[in-house]
Amino acid sequence: MLLRIQDLKVAFRMGRHNGEMQRTLAVKGVSFDVPENSTVALVGESGSGKSVTAMSILNLLPENAERSGRIEFQGRDLLQTSLRDLQAIRGREIACVFQDPMSSLNPVFTVADQIMEPLIKHMGMSRRQALVRAEELLNEVGIPDPKRRLKAYPHEMSGGQQQRVMIAVALACSPKLLIADEPTTALDVTIQRQVMDLMARLKESHKMSLLFISHDLGVVGEISDQVVVMRHGEIREKAPVAKIFKNPQDRYTKALLACRPSLTENPDRLMVIDDHMAGRESQAHVNRKDPAAPVILEVRGLKKSFFFKKGLFGQQEFVAVKDVNFKLRKGYTLGVVGESGSGKTTMGLTLLRLHEPTGGEVLFEGQDLLKMSGPDWQKMRRRIQVVFQNPYASLNPRFTIAQTLVEPMEIHGIGQDHADRLARASALLTKVGLDDTVLGKYPHEFSGGQRQRIAIARCLTLNPEVLVLDESVSALDVSVQAQVLNLLKDLQDEFGLSYIFISHDLAVVKFISDEVLVMQNGDVVEQNETQALLKQPRQDYTRRLLGAVPRGYQAPADEAVALVS
């Protein structure tokens, strides 16, 4: 057995209270094995303890962490290993790939420097030998023109390329175990597919084991041999991947499988974890959409270019959005999909004039938003709002929730006085599933899903008619994502809101959208009603996006899996 974890407990010291040290138990007696040449997935929501469990292996935890139990790597207990010996193991025999490559890669070092460092430190190579090996590694992970890319800095590469560099760094010393902590969460579906295929191929070619951490069972089902499902620091279920998908035993595992949107099913409402755990049936979603609803927003020939200096006097044009056209009806949702760099976010920000357009018209009830200025534009901004991707960055950390919600009402003169605005804020929090007890709290006191609810409530303070939702659920766990998607449908029914829903996740877009617009390199390559587009896509690019969506475990056609309950 390559790795054996037995009765692992991890507690965090939280300071003294009444003279006694307070501790929070994050991992509560976890046990599982990672065999040689296999992939084991740790699955669960945020706060389940999966990342803390994985980071305990190499003690990559804060100083206030306390570990107990056994972590045996090739028969050696890593909990009893000295820091010096542990540092020799890190990167050499056990390596890690993390979720956000930009926070893991050093921005002031070139790609070559960062790949060469472990080769020089652990393998004793000279700089010349390490440079040759670094180029080989970049080629192995699929970076085009690897010799030139060695001189690049992390910010000069795309997110997918950065993650490939991180994998190259991790593989530099041919480790026996690779720990991959949410390595595909921040990537679009096609890049996610490439990274998953790459990791599976490298696992086989390097004869190593993979400990894969994720909240998404769809991803896990395609890459894992064994699955360990965690919740609240405990293991709820562990079994081969086929059994987890075909015959899950634990109610929580069933809930995780059911709450993710699917390309094959078309529910009116997504089940959430709490409903499953309590054995409640999901309430039916009432579709009140008017087939004769008027067009509230029409975009004609929208263009956006960015200009860069070239030489002393010249400039270079980069066309990010090229001639986008669409109509959005009142109470309907337009999904906008595409890979990173397709122009979908730039298009959304341009029609809001957060980027000034270089051409086209954006007609809101017949008025061109792009020609408005001064008071007219200020009034119109109330009616079209935006919810951003990152709930951790979109709220002011120095504002209480009350200040966050009251400020836009004060700016736009909504409400009679402060007390009236506070009452409106409290009512809106109730609408988004929170209550007025949160008004005095600050953003850091909330989870990602709660922050996104607060961001939505902030938009609703202005009584908008159109919301632009830019990857608004992509940073959330699948269970929290289901709650927010259900909330958006409820709010649309109640207030008649229209959505422009920007996402790289076609399964999410299928659930919430009435029509889909597919973008590639700034162009709209396909546009149709959601069901028609997903059933019979006309463009190869759309078919490629659909083919990249993780579908969970798919048994081979000739495989008869014997499942024992």
Beta strand pairing status for 384-387 and 314-329? Answer: unpaired
The CATH number of 328-357+366-548 is which of 2.70.98.10, 3.30.565.10, 3.40.50.1820, 3.40.50.300?
Answer: 3.40.50.300
Q: How far apart are the first and last CA of the chain?
A: 26
Lowest mean pLDDT among 120-124, 287-291, 376-380: 287-291
Q: Which of 179, 232, 260 is nearest to 25 (CA)?
A: 232
Domain boundaries, the chain: 328-357+366-548
Report the pLDDT value the prediction gives residue 162, as an integer from 0 to 100: 87
Q: Work out the pLDDT band at 286, boundaries 50, 70, 90.
A: low
Dist. CA 235–CA 43, nearest whole Å: 10
Other CB atoms within 10 A of residue 106 CB: 11
Q: Rounded mean pLDDT of the chain?
A: 88
441-485 pLDDT, tens per residue?
998 888 777 888 898 999 989 989 999 999 888 777 777 888 888
The interaxial angle of helices 448-460 and 418-431, nearest 10 deg, is 130
Q: Which of 502, 512, 427 is nearest to 463 (CA)?
A: 427
Beta strand pairing status for 3-17 and 20-34? Answer: antiparallel
Mean pLDDT across the stretch 17-31?
91
Characterise 49 by phi-psi region: left (phi > 0), alpha (psi -120 to 50), beta (else): left
Report the pLDDT value the prediction gives residue 564, as an integer from 0 to 100: 39
Dist. CA 85–CA 392, nearest whole Å: 37
Mean pLDDT across the stretch 499-507?
89
Report the pLDDT value the prediction gives residue 468, as an integer from 0 to 100: 94
Contact 395, 454 (CB under 8 A): yes
Beta strand pairing status for 498-503 and 333-337? Answer: parallel
Which residue pairs, CB below 8 angstroms and at least 24 apart, start in 475-478? 475/186, 475/389, 475/390, 475/391, 475/392, 475/448, 476/391, 476/448, 476/449, 476/452, 477/45, 477/46, 477/215, 477/448, 477/449, 478/215, 478/216, 478/217, 478/256, 478/259, 478/260
Q: Which residue has the higher pLDDT, 430 or 102?
A: 430
Beta bridge partners of 466: 384, 498
Q: Work out the pLDDT band at 249, boundaries 50, 70, 90.
A: very high
Dist. CA 462–CA 360, nearest whole Å: 27
Dist. CA 220–CA 180, nearest whole Å: 12
Report the pLDDT value the prediction gives residue 259, as an integer from 0 to 100: 82
Residue 285 has pLDDT above 60, yes or no: no
343: enclosing H helix or E strand: none
Dist. CA 522–CA 347, nearest whole Å: 8
